[in-house]
């Protein structure tokens, strides 16, 4: 009996050893030697598919799915013998506490790479796990500088970071002030007290040093704020030339409505830096006229590559709505990972991470932005030249005003 038990234990150990031996990184069944190409390469999308940030997380997922559809229809990852891509989603439910657990789940599922994330704190929590595992994470919507400043060699960003975002918005403010003939403009700032808002506020102050901008009031408001009446009144009462909100989409929506109906600021420039023009006009139409927001690229914008037109067509056909800025970022994230898989000739996470450092997307290989024409990562994982588009609401529609070479109209004064 005892011998039987020992035999069974030995057999079990042998089985466990065999099982362990066959579970390598990624879905690849090969390393060196007899390499087999996987039929499917699974990418993990860790993002906010429910909760408040699903406002961005769902379009991000839709954009990513379009990239997968296009790549698979074109024959998959050719260097892996035509392996098809598949996305496995991990919902962080707009709760940064879930970043770590969902990242652990994705690593446990041996995904070839992770992408996604719409809240900086969620991404910051998750990349600790993926860095340890050597799995690359291509961040889509988290903008905190810290994401790439930690020195992790497996972390990449396809959206702008806080420094880039502040710098671009500052350029818009300066161009608007010049166009409207405002010399030595004054500004009033309200920012959301979160990693995103705090970092953006600090980056803005740093960028604005020596530009002649004079801050007449600046204040944070709690992340939990739902009634913005007092915030709107305080900004309007400042009589500043420029009003700037560094908040979340719902913040900008509320402020745009309050400015139009209640507080009616005298500022000539109103910038709702965290809000998407398409989403706000969908709710407020012409009530938001004059406000500057994040612009959406739509067919008709100057210099659009053919790849955007195809993306836009496929997206609208599948989801019956227009893509937004996060749809495009989700799409580009998958395109970057696919290019890295091609280059690495392997779905091993570490090989994909290494390849991501040197891949470039052109307008024929997955970059759907008109400007810049090529996308690549800087040595710290940030996007070297992050696309940035600003729109002004005019007649209930967002019209691109920045960058100037893609502009559909010139900046006009708010409330005139």
Partner 1 sequence: MLFEQLLIVGIITGSVYSLVGVGFTLVLGVGRVANFAHGSFVAVGLYLALFASETLGLNAYEAFVPAIILFALIGIAVAELFEWRGRKVGEIGELLIGLALLLLIGGLLEVLFSDTPRTINGLVLGHVDIAGLTISGTQLVAVAFTLVTAVSLYLFLRGSRWGRALRAVAENGEAAGLYGVRVPVARRAAVTISIVVAGAAGIVISPFTVLTPDVGSTYLISAFAVVIVGGIGNALGAVLAGIGIGIVTSLSSGYLASYWTSLAPLIVILIVLLVRPGLSEAV
Contact positions vs partner 1 (CB under 8 A): 50-52, 54-55, 94, 193, 219-222, 224-231, 233-234, 236-237, 249-250, 253-254, 257, 261-264, 279, 283-285, 287
Query: In Å, what is the CA distance from 83 to each residue of 36, 56, 76, 344?
Result: 11, 29, 5, 13
Which of residues 128 and 262 has its CB atom nearest to partner 1 in the complex?
262
Which of residues 36 and 266 has its CB atom nearest to partner 1 in the complex?
266
Task: Find the shortest distance in angstroms from Cβ 113 to partner 1.
Answer: 27
Task: Find the shortest distance in angstroms from Cβ 254 to partner 1.
Answer: 5
Which of residues 51 and 81 has its CB atom nearest to partner 1 in the complex?
51
Which of residues 184 and 239 has its CB atom nearest to partner 1 in the complex?
239
Task: Find the shortest distance in angstroms from Cβ 57 to partner 1.
Answer: 9
Distance CA 398, CA 339 (A): 33
Which of residues 32 and 226 has its CB atom nearest to partner 1 in the complex?
226
Task: Find the shortest distance in angstroms from Cβ 117 to partner 1.
Answer: 16
Name the DSSP letter for residue 51.
Answer: S
Distance CA 12, CA 3 (A): 14
Which of residues 58 and 175 has its CB atom nearest to partner 1 in the complex?
58
Task: Find the shortest distance in angstroms from Cβ 163 to partner 1.
Answer: 23
Distance CA 133, CA 121 (A): 19
Task: Find the shortest distance in angstroms from Cβ 40 to partner 1.
Answer: 30
Nearest to 112 by CA among 33, 45, 59: 45
Long-range contacts of 400-405 (CB under 8 A, 24+ apart): 400/295, 400/297, 400/301, 401/172, 401/292, 401/295, 402/168, 402/171, 402/172, 402/175, 402/295, 403/371, 404/175, 405/302, 405/303, 405/371
> Residue 360 CB: number of other CB atoms within 10 A?
14
């Amino acid at each position: 009996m005892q011998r039987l038990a020992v035999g069974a234990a030995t057999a079990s150990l042998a089985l466990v050893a065999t099982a362990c031996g066959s579970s390598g990184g990624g879905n690849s069944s090969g390393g060196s030697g007899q390499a087999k190409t996987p039929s499917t390469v699974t990418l993990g999308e860790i993002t906010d598919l429910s909760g408040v940030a699903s406002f961005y997380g769902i379009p991000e997922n839709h954009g990513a799915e379009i990239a997968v559809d296009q790549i698979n229809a074109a024959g998959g990852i050719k260097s892996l013998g035509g392996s098809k891509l598949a996305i496995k989603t991990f919902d962080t439910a707009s709760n940064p506490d879930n970043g770590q657990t969902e990242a652990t789940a994705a690593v446990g599922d041996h995904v070839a790479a992770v992408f996604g994330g719409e809240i900086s704190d969620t991404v910051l929590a998750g990349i600790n796990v993926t860095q340890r595992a050597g799995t690359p994470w291509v961040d889509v919507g988290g903008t905190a500088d810290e994401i790439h400043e930690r020195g992790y060699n497996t972390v990449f960003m396809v959206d702008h970071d806080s420094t880039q975002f502040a710098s671009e918005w500052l350029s818009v403010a300066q161009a608007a002030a010049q166009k409207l003939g405002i010399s030595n403009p004054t500004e009033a700032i309200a920012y959301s007290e979160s990693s995103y808002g705090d970092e953006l506020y600090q980056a803005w102050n740093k960028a604005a040093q020596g530009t002649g901008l004079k801050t007449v009031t600046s204040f944070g408001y709690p992340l939990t704020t739902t009634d913005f009446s007092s915030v709107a009144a305080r900004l309007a009462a400042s009589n500043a030339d420029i009003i700037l909100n560094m908040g979340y989409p719902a913040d900008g929506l509320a402020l745009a409505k309050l400015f139009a109906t209640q507080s009616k600021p005298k500022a000539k420039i109103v910038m709702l830096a965290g809000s998407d023009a398409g989403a706000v006009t969908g709710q407020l139409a012409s009530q938001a006229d004059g406000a500057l927001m994040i612009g959406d690229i739509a067919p008709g914008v100057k210099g659009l590559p053919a790849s955007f037109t195809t993306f836009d067509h496929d997206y609208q056909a599948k989801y019956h709505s227009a893509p937004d800025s996060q749809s495009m970022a989700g799409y580009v994230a998958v395109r970057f990972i696919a290019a890295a898989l091609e280059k690495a000739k392997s779905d091993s996470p570490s090989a994909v991470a290494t390849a991501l450092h040197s891949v470039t997307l052109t307008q024929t290989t997955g970059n759907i932005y008109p400007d810049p024409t090529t996308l690549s990562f800087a040595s710290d994982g940030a996007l070297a030249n992050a696309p940035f588009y600003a729109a002004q609401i005019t007649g209930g529609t967002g019209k691109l005003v920045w960058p100037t070479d893609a502009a559909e109209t010139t900046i006009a004064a708010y409330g005139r």
